[in-house]
Amino acid sequence: MKEYIEFSNKFRKSNGSKESVEKMYDLLYELENIEKSKQENLVLSNVYILLCFHRSAYETFKETADPKNSKDVSKLYVLEQKAKSHENNFIIKDVRKLREKKEQPIIKLSDFELSKKQENKFEIKNRKLVIFNKLIKDGKLSIYLPNEDIDSFFDKIIIYIAWLGDCKKELINFYNNECDVNVEQKADSDWYDTLEIYRAEIFIDEHGNISTSIVGGDDFFRDHLLDIEINDRIITSITYNG
């Protein structure tokens, strides 16, 4: 509790500086890996709240809340509503964990699966693909072709996915020079490292032209979606939605 009070005060006074976030995470990792008393569970819940792990904060506090204490009941209700609306989707991230270079897996033709619901739509199954140096969940990348002849487009898709794996310089430069949004911060390595990818779609037309639409999120506007449009290997648009 003493450490939490010290670190959380520094966190709030510095408006969530990198150093203060790292201190909070150090405390979080320590608490997550010990047998916890009721008091330590309460501290862990408070750490989760500060770092915006709303679902984790609710589940942890639920274990320690006193149903006969009106303040606990009220707090538990607030945490439950926040958990339902936000889950753990808008957390303040530990950049140290995100900077590690991710390797794009080897993709085989047999990994492509044709959709049973939508014509000419393919997904890559059982591969943890990398976009913007982020591992994306299975089924979050969709590929749309002009026909079902995946063999003809296989090499082009593989080369393009490899490029999507890490577009750090391109994204940062476009955001800072072209993105028409009133943001005090400038995009930098921390911004790129903390991006999230929720969904990606690759479109290839009959002429072989390729474009991409990516829906994600960033730490500048945690309650907004970040829409990124790319034609071939040129970023054309970055906008917020929400």
Closest CA to 26 of 6, 12, 54, 42: 6
**pLDDT (mean) for 208-234:** 93
Q: What is the pLDDT of residues 13-56, one digit of tens each?
A: 998 898 999 999 999 999 999 999 999 999 999 999 999 999 99
Q: What is the pLDDT of residues 131-165, one digit of tens each?
A: 999 999 888 999 999 999 999 999 999 999 999 99
Angle (deg, nearest 10), helices 38-50 and 2-13:
10
Q: Which residues of 150-186 are buried (b: 16+ CB within 10 A; e: fewer)?
A: beebeeebeebbeebbbbeeebbebbeeebeeeeeee
Q: What is the pLDDT of residues 170-217, one digit of tens each?
A: 999 999 998 867 667 889 999 999 999 999 999 999 999 999 999 999
Q: Which two tokens stand for residue 33?
A: 């890996």
Query: So where are the chain's domains?
Result: 2-86, 102-241
Confidence class for position 127, pLDDT limits 50, 70, 90: confident
Report pLDDT for 182: 63
Q: What CATH number does domain 2-86 carry, 1.10.287, 1.10.10, 1.25.40, 1.10.3470? A: 1.25.40
Q: What value does the mean pLDDT of the chain take?
A: 93
Report pLDDT for 133: 95
Confidence check: pLDDT of 229 > 70 = yes
Report pLDDT for 139: 84
Report pLDDT for 212: 98
